[in-house]
Chain A
């Protein structure tokens, strides 16, 4: 019988990191599009790097950061008497760092594709920058943002290299699906590995399938009208 703990943990890690990455990705993309500051290009390259670096390398960098003697690890130990390394929080952190560039890139492209005239129109109609963002920019960018979210979730779910470096393989504690598959295959338990492969493939397929059907249904045109205004009017006719 398959042990569901790695499945539950993987879903938990992927969902928590999705929430963080979704909000952080949109916020960072907005800052990068709208603000100018020194070192912007360097900063943007750094946050995008985990997408092209081998995950093990990113994991190694995180290990140096949050390990017992790393700058973050030391502060956590001194101030809170706790450590991040080899915990579920570390697994979430690895997933966030690895999945973030996917969300960021999708969010940037989606937000840039919104017609700036529509945002200007909202401004001339008296909308604050927050209202423009929440009622015009984000709703119109939503298909791209959702696509980025699904990519980030799937990537976080399948994360292996960085996770093994900083969260390790502690059964019942930090063992996610990819790690379970690796160690099952290594100990020649191909049936167990096969079960988990089937589970993770089904979840990822489900996510992509949902995205495709959702995108078809939501092209922001007839049939999917949403009101951006709280005033509802009963027609006199």
Chain B
């Protein structure tokens, strides 16, 4: 369970977020510049809130009161960036294996499973320039999951894709969450997508939560 109760001062407004996510998909929905990405960055530890607390399964990531700030590398938070942020100087395989911590045999099994589930086995020796948008998205997802995260953050993961690939990958994300059973938090400004994927949607405007809605499926 992820608990977020933070305030962060931004140039135009103050971001105030207060929510909890269990092992399901939560969608942050709102127009551009309303603080969705900043919320994700605060959870990942890439930005520091001004006040409040962030905990995941009772581990404190950030607490202004007790001056705790766990750096991103120790949080176990998977993050899929909007432009995927794949390393352009490495192959698909090196990208996916970048976050592997233990050098035992366990990762082999997970690696093979991800290659199979995301249908990227034929791509592993390719470079980033030789991938389509949908393939990049799959590789970025595999890379984030390969690091065994306790939570996955997705910043507009499908925004750059054509509608057909988009539909396919929406299903894939739902499927992956069911298999991994960790909280997924996805940012989008596409309402249809928010309702299709999310078990819970937070509607945001200028740094405030307007509505927190559970979707019954």
Contact = CB atoms under 8 A, between A and B. Distances in A.
Interface stretch (A54-62, A125-133, A204-212): A125-133
Interface string A120-161: 111111111000000110011000000000000000000000
A122 B78 contact: no
Nearest to B81: A117
A140 B128 CA distance: 14
Most buried by B among A125, A135, A235: A125
A117 B82 CA distance: 10
A1 interface: no
A186 interface: no
Contacts of B67: none
B71 interface: yes
Given A120-B72, A126-B73, A223-B127, A115 B98 contact: no
A235 B94 CA distance: 13
B72 A228 contact: no
A229 B94 contact: yes
A118 interface: yes
B111 to A, nearest CB: 7
Interface string A23-34: 000000000000
B101 A126 contact: yes
Interface string A226-237: 111111010111
Contacts of A226: 89-90, 94
Contacts of A115: 85
B130 interface: yes
* Interface size class of chain A, counting residues whose CB lies under 8 Å from the partner chain: 20 to 34
Interface residues of B, number: 44
A224 interface: yes
B81 A222 contact: no
B89 A220 contact: yes
Contacts of B103: 230-231
Contacts of A230: 103
Nearest to A236: B112
B88 interface: yes
B50 interface: no
Nearest to B126: A222
With most chain B CB atoms within 10 A of its CB, the pick from A124, A227, A230, A233 is A124
A237 B88 contact: no
A221 interface: yes
A28 B44 CA distance: 29
A173 B177 CA distance: 72
A225 interface: yes
A36 to B, nearest CB: 16
A140 B88 CA distance: 8
B77 interface: yes
Nearest to A221: B129
A124 B128 CA distance: 20
Contact of B94 (A118, A123, A228): A228
20 contacts: A117-B81, A120-B44, A120-B72, A120-B85, A121-B79, A123-B46, A125-B98, A126-B99, A127-B98, A127-B99, A221-B88, A221-B127, A221-B129, A222-B129, A225-B94, A225-B125, A226-B94, A227-B90, A229-B100, A231-B97
